[in-house]
Chains A and B, each alone.
Chain A
């Protein structure tokens, strides 16, 4: 499979809380092609976020292999994974997770700064993406001065501004009303279509999942892929 962008095989991850060990991932294997949009369904606590964290290199696997863009993340050091993440991954969270002390455009620019772009490039790219998410008038506002939908747009802009190869979105509509959620989702998909990146959507909304190319379900630590589209 030449088009394979993410390959996960036999991934295990467990957490220890107190004396009890709690296994979240029990041998997950997955392959994602470049440009694909994947939706991941699952109950609360089923390990969706953990899977995302492992793919982005924020978290480590206990066992198994994670290869992203031909790089074996499990073989990298913490520092190397950070640099990898900085360049190749865009992250969108349910609770937006903007830096409260930075304005909308500064939140976006932060990623570019970290990636070493020149000030001019930063200016251009930031303006461009802010424009693209429709927040030109809001760009100098701080997160707590914006609505949830607006904050999530900033989060999308931040996740996409450096054209990452892989965008991970964790319940991105989970904290928004239905209309805003819909708008945000289509905005993200439009932008992804333009950049040609791979999108990994974690959700428990079937409506959201339906917009994806493939739908996966995480259950009891194992990944089940549903072929074709279901009517629920």
Chain B
């Protein structure tokens, strides 16, 4: 082993990277999950139920009645809203400190002065100590809260040590009176948290006026949690792929180590060492390496996790739920899991060569040619195995409503099946190359090509590793590109208006009818369509809802399928449209109905159509604003879509609109169609940044694998090179031969990675993505992705070939010949 320390190093690095990826992703996932739970928990605390209002919120008198008439004492009123402090996002929680303290929530550790001032002052804030330190704020400091477009000076009344700093990080507390003023939520609450037993919850439910609903915190949180679960599974699957590549690497190393010591092991056997003992000698050494590598992987994983957690939380924030917690939480179980998985995979990978070493007759332990012959003999079995695995994989994909995990298992079968096909493919490919190009090939080229199939136990492994890694790039690349293209097309259709005006002000009057009139008067404006974005309670939990006013006869909603006359019925307010993810996850179709809580009580609204939407993976509902106004008694407007005349100048119209809005005091944002598109695409790209990082890591592991396999291959051929040198080949010719050979392997890996990658992309798009998010997308295969894959494979292989080539060309032929 000593002589080939590099081999051990490469294995250590490979396993380390593999374990690091698993650990890093797991830590990041767990941190994000914890963040999610903490975000919910830190807001909900030990409460069992919540009263949730309609779009407007809960009239605060309801709370007084709840306390004084129903005597529901464990009831916690809350007003919440997003704020920004010194560039950092926080959730402002307006609470009643007395109620909070009575159930032991949040205010844990709040100091007397803080609590006292909180209730009596008009601008007192309380921050957890950790956040205060980070923001360099001390009690009595004045600082600005950015709410919407406004900056409001407030005072830090107190900081408090949090029992669970991770949970409270990202929260800023104020008395409910202060928060109502800051958030402009006079008269309303966002929620009332309750601790209820079954009997009282039933009586509260019947007591609640229409428009308000009592929900079970646990099941509601579960619903929210499940949404992002698919995303975490996706990440884990990617990290496991990297570990798979690392496993191939371990197998390679152990086989090599056995080969190198075939004489020693043979003599051991001749001397009476039992098979079992030989087996354990080999295993023990590999385990020592794997242990070192796994431990190093844990450390690297910790570092990696810190980088990933940011990307993961950002994605979760963008896609699912606003996490105010972004702490990196080191879960010892993740570390243990990574270590065990690393060690386990290593054990599995090395037990095969160890077993082979122990199976052999004394003396003849694994001569190179014996091994290769055995491999050649195994190829038919491989092929049969491959076909079976591929068959299983594809059959598993058939059901349309399988689970996500099943999808990944199927994908794994397909990848493994494909790996088993790699050696066969390599042999066939090299044979056809030789046949096709026979007249133009010299012996050097023939050696290079034939060596690939002759050393199939090595090359097969290296090429398989590279193929898998590159195919991940292709698969994910095509998926992301398809997704991006689909979203882009969809945005074009969805954003039919030219200019959008929106307000962040939830409870004020919002945008007004008179504003519409003013805007319509602007020359060049052809129409103004108001809509209201809000959240309504349904049987599936709270769902974002958009109440639109479509321009007559058109629909800005890109419909997937619908009932007859859907648009007319929609305009008449006879039903709603739902988004594709909602339809997929809840298995709804046009013609079904959905129960929603309106101000007139629960109503079953019929589903007129399903439309494409990528703004929410949890689903959305669209209905006509007239129907919305009638059922929810809410006249407010969140967004105005402005269409301009075909010949009007965008800039001029925009300028005129801004003039009109100049006098409005509210937090109003004007965005052009293009700006929204740009932001949307930017968010999209940010969301998928993590996949890019993981792809690169997979390639790095594969590169280490290829390098290791090539090193082994060239090492075993030292004598052959010596003969060639003796025959008159120059070192340069030897080097070029090897370089050419590895590049060829790169080309072959690249070629194979394309079909596997495309299959993977298809599975990701049609199975994984759909099962995760319920989005359907167009298949978009950019040629650049394919070219990139090919180049990446060649580049990785060629790069990995440089060192072995240099090494082989510098051997001393005299010494190499003497050694046999």
Contact = CB atoms under 8 A, between A and B. Distances in A.
Please indicate whether A and B come from the same complex rather than being unrelated chains.
yes
B728 A102 contact: no
A171 to B, nearest CB: 12
Interface in A81-137: 82-83, 85-87, 89, 91, 93, 95, 97, 99-102, 106-107, 109-111, 113-115
A53 B725 CA distance: 12
A4 interface: no
Given A53-B814, A58-B813, A95-B820, A100 B728 contact: no
Contacts of B729: 82, 86, 114
B444 interface: yes
Contacts of A56: 726
B723 A97 contact: yes
Interface majority SS (helix, strand, loop, mixed), chain B: helix
A115 B730 CA distance: 12
Nearest to A170: B817
B728 to A, nearest CB: 2
Contacts of A33: none
A107 to B, nearest CB: 8
Contacts of B131: none
Nearest to B442: A113
A58 B728 contact: no
B720 A91 contact: no
A144 interface: yes
A113 B820 contact: no
B369 interface: yes
Interface residues of A, number: 32
Contacts of A106: 443, 446
Nearest to B440: A119
A60 B450 CA distance: 33
A102 B727 contact: no
Contacts of A83: 728, 730
Interface string B782-820: 000000000000000000000000000000011001101
A82 to B, nearest CB: 5
Interface in A27-57: 49-50, 53, 56
A88 to B, nearest CB: 9
B274 to A, nearest CB: 32
Contacts of B369: 100, 144
A86 B731 CA distance: 13
Nearest to A159: B727
Contacts of A113: 442-444
B451 interface: yes
B727 A111 contact: yes
B447 A101 contact: yes
B454 A101 contact: yes
A58 B817 contact: yes
Interface string B421-464: 00000000000000000000011101100110010000000000
A102 B443 contact: yes
B724 interface: yes
A99 B444 contact: no
A100 B454 contact: yes
A111 B728 contact: yes
Interface string A53-79: 100101100000000000000000011
Interface residues of B, number: 26
A135 to B, nearest CB: 17
Contact of B725 (A58, A93, A95, A115): A58
Given A101-B447, A102-B443, A82 B814 contact: no
Nearest to A164: B728
A154 B207 CA distance: 101
A56 B444 CA distance: 22
A136 to B, nearest CB: 19
Given A53-B814, A58-B814, A102-B450, A110 B443 contact: yes
B369 to A, nearest CB: 7
Nearest to B721: A99
B324 to A, nearest CB: 64
Residue in A93, A101, A113 whose Cβ sees the most chain B Cβ within 10 Å: A101
Given A58-B813, A59-B814, A99 B728 contact: no
Interface string A192-220: 00000000000000000000000000000
A91 B813 CA distance: 13
B447 A58 contact: no
A86 B446 contact: no
A168 to B, nearest CB: 10
Given A97-B723, A99-B724, A79 B730 contact: yes
B720 A100 contact: yes
A106 B443 CA distance: 6
Interface in B724-749: 724-731, 733
A107 B442 CA distance: 11
A86 B728 contact: yes
A79 B730 CA distance: 7
Nearest to A82: B730
Contacts of A78: 731
A52 B443 CA distance: 26
A6 to B, nearest CB: 18
A206 B820 CA distance: 24
B725 A91 contact: no
Nearest to B818: A49
A97 B818 CA distance: 12
Nearest to B816: A58
Contacts of B444: 110, 113
Nearest to A97: B723
A91 B724 CA distance: 11
Nearest to A158: B727
B66 to A, nearest CB: 86
Given A102-B443, A102-B447, A113-B444, A58 B454 contact: no
Residue in A58, A59, A102, A115 whose Cβ sees the most chain B Cβ within 10 Å: A58
A113 B447 CA distance: 13
Contacts of B813: 58
A85 B726 contact: yes
A86 B719 CA distance: 18
Contacts of B723: 93, 97, 99
B727 A110 contact: yes
Residue in A85, A99, A106, A113 whose Cβ sees the most chain B Cβ within 10 Å: A99
A144 B813 CA distance: 23
A83 B444 CA distance: 16
A79 B820 CA distance: 25
B786 to A, nearest CB: 31
A114 B728 contact: yes
B406 to A, nearest CB: 44
Contacts of B814: 50, 53, 58-59
A58 B726 contact: yes
B727 A91 contact: yes
Nearest to B724: A99
B727 A86 contact: yes
A49 B820 CA distance: 13
B503 to A, nearest CB: 75
B443 A109 contact: yes
Contacts of A82: 725, 728-730
16 contacts: A56-B726, A58-B725, A79-B730, A82-B729, A83-B728, A85-B728, A86-B727, A87-B728, A89-B728, A97-B719, A101-B451, A102-B450, A110-B443, A110-B724, A111-B728, A144-B369
Q: Which 9 A-B pairs have the closest CB atoms?
A: A86-B728, A101-B450, A110-B443, A59-B814, A97-B723, A53-B814, A58-B814, A113-B442, A114-B728
Interface of B: 369, 442-444, 446-447, 450-451, 454, 719-720, 723-731, 733, 813-814, 817-818, 820
Given A82-B729, A85-B727, 13 more contacts: A49-B818, A53-B814, A58-B726, A58-B814, A78-B731, A85-B728, A89-B728, A93-B723, A99-B724, A106-B443, A107-B443, A109-B443, A111-B727
